[in-house]
Structure 1
Amino acid sequence: MDMQMQAANVRVGEGATAPDDGVAKDSTQIELTQIRLLRALVQTRDPSSKEEDDLMLRRFLRARDLDVEKASTMFLKYLKWKHSFVPNGSISVSDVPNQLAHDKVFVQGHDKIGRPILIVFGAKHFQSKNGLDEFKRFVVYVLDKVCASMPAGQEKFVGIAELKGWGYSNSDVRGYIGALAILQDYYPERLGKLFIVNAPYIFMKVWQLVYPFIDEKTKKKIVFMEKNKVKSTLLKDIDESQLPEIFGGPLPLVPIQHS
């Protein structure tokens, strides 16, 4: 018996929460049905899933094209990772002091549909001398912060990767792939769009190594901008009043730890 049939045989009312209002308002009937099936299934496998809301379940379902079996595998993997990697429920500033010291991630403003804007300076990132653990914790810290800043009804953020000055000393392939894995496996359907700005030729060589690890849905969200069209391209998605100063707008950058 496959997972979807097993889920159908579980009494959904036992321990399953009702769909959130936000889910009910903008979900299809198929999505609502699949959310109930997914919740019933994962709660039999990991009771801690009761703590996760229906919006979370819907994101995992959408990441797997509403396939309950595939979404349950992905979600249970996420729960196992969460319990081991973030046992206290969150990453604190004291867990990532070296990463924060580089001042490489900032937030400010929102795009035209309310998605918060995250700016990353690639030339300020270097391979960690102490391994990947702190950098991975930093990725989780950043994603949790930007997700927490989302207004009601919004589930995604916009990223801008500024690569001016990027060189081989910044080519942390293992770090990039690790960050991608966290985003894609544990924060599905959170990235709305990623603008890549001022990518030098040498970056494209490294990009060829990273590209195979990017899933198809994420690839469609990545936009490489022409150097002479940065502001005009950003303005298609972001009002000028919400642009950071470095891209011709009025807003100063806010370090991620102060957002």
Structure 2
Amino acid sequence: MAARLSLTLRHPFLPASYPIPARATQFRRFAVQNCVSDSYDSRKLVLEVKEKLEREYNSLPLGRNGRDDEEMILWFLKDRKFSVDDAVAKLTKAINWRQEFGVDELSEDSVKGMAETGKAFVHEFLDVNGRPVLIVVAAKHLPAVHDPLEDEKLCVFYVEKALSKLPTGKEDILGIIDLRGFRTENADLRFLTFLFDVFYFYYPKRLGQVLFVEAPSVFRPLWQLTKPLLKSYASLARFCSIDTIRKEYFTEDTLPAIFKD
């Protein structure tokens, strides 16, 4: 973009009569035309998806996160490499899931009981890369005690909350799983798979990275079982220490309190 802009502006120290090289002029024209063309093609594909959804899936809801939400349509088109049919298939699944799961009905009150366990929260500050941060405290996750559906609702509520904090120009969030004190009773292959399924099917490309902090040896077998199921998403995972969190992801002022001691 900077290159394109530099070609559209004459250097302030050059006289008005100074000739702009023909090659630069051609490049500028090509870049502008390309930009307009890309924008036009994207808009055309969004409308194509929108019309296809209206024609073939008109029972799907309208409005935000519905079949006529053009921002959502464009995001799924990007995820599916601008294949209209693939985007429609994935969008249909995502919109149906939102409706069946009751995503829009989730609220602070509806997840209050599970939130009070302290097993997860959205950090008040962004990381150094400007991403919202979703933190999970694994030692407080007790699958034998907690209702799995309530766990899932809490997860989705916090994903929605984190995404609502995205600054302009940012597209993904950072997930941090604090594994200090993790024991076998905290292991939950089902929930870990659900978490990654949520990001793959319903919030594609919204998870920028997942940090596994201070992973004990007892966690490794669970990871080896889960990793093949995650496919390309496994590449988003990074095992790291608290020291790495402090030095690479936050400033002294924005560091989550649980990593300060």
Please, what TM-score do these two structures have when normalized by structure 1?
0.74
User: CA separation in 1, counterparts of 2:144 and 2:90?
Assistant: 28
> Alpha-carbon deviation of 1:247?
3.4
- Equivalent of 2:108, from 93, 104, 116? 93
Paired position in structure 2 for 1:108:
124
Paired position in structure 1 for 2:46:
35
Paired position in structure 1 for 2:211:
195
Structure 1 residues 215 and 69: CA distance shift in structure 2, 3 A:
farther
Structure having the higher Rg: 2
Equivalences, count: 220
> Alpha-carbon deviation of 1:94?
3.7
User: CA separation in 1, counterparts of 2:62 and 2:50?
Assistant: 8
SS of equivalent residue, structure 1 residue 108: coil
Give the stretch that moved more between structures: 89-98 or 62-71: 89-98
SS of equivalent residue, structure 2 residue 82: coil
Is it true that 1:243 corresponds to 2:255 in the alignment?
A: yes
Give the stretch that moved more between structures: 196-205 or 130-139: 130-139
1:224-243, aligned counterparts within 5 Å? 224-226=239-241, 229-234=244-249, 238-243=250-255
SS of equivalent residue, structure 1 residue 242: coil
2:126 counterpart letter in structure 1: H
The alignment yields a C-alpha RMSD, in angstroms, of 2.7
1:144 counterpart letter in structure 2: E
- Whether the aligned pair in 1 keeps the contact of 2:242 and 2:259 (CA below 8 Å) is no
SS of equivalent residue, structure 1 residue 241: coil
Paired position in structure 2 for 1:182:
198
Percent identity between the two aligned chains: 26
SS of equivalent residue, structure 1 residue 103: coil
> Alpha-carbon deviation of 1:81?
1.2
Give the stretch that moved more between structures: 103-112 or 115-124: 103-112
1:153-168, aligned counterparts within 5 Å? 153-168=169-184
Paired position in structure 2 for 1:44:
55
- Whether the aligned pair in 1 keeps the contact of 2:46 and 2:74 (CA below 8 Å) is yes
1:12-161, aligned counterparts within 5 Å? 30-47=41-58, 48=60, 50-51=62-63, 52=65, 53-86=69-102, 89-106=104-121, 107-127=123-143, 129=145, 131-161=147-177
- Whether the aligned pair in 1 keeps the contact of 2:134 and 2:158 (CA below 8 Å) is no
1 or 2 for the larger relative contact order (CA 8 Å, sep ≥6)?
Answer: 1
1:213-232, aligned counterparts within 5 Å? 213-216=229-232, 218-226=233-241, 229-232=244-247
Paired position in structure 2 for 1:169:
185
Question: Which consecutive residues of structure 1, in runs of 5 or more, have no partner in the other structure?
Answer: 1-23, 250-259
Paired position in structure 2 for 1:17:
none
User: CA separation in 2, counterparts of 1:147 and 1:139?
Assistant: 12
Q: Give deviations 1:8-42, integer Å, cap 9, x for gaps.
A: xxxxxxxxxxxxxxxx99x7655444323222222
Question: Which consecutive residues of structure 2, in runs of 5 or more, have no partner in the other structure?
Answer: 1-34
Paired position in structure 2 for 1:9:
none
User: CA separation in 2, counterparts of 1:79 and 1:134?
Assistant: 20
Structure 1 residues 36 and 49: CA distance shift in structure 2, 3 A:
farther
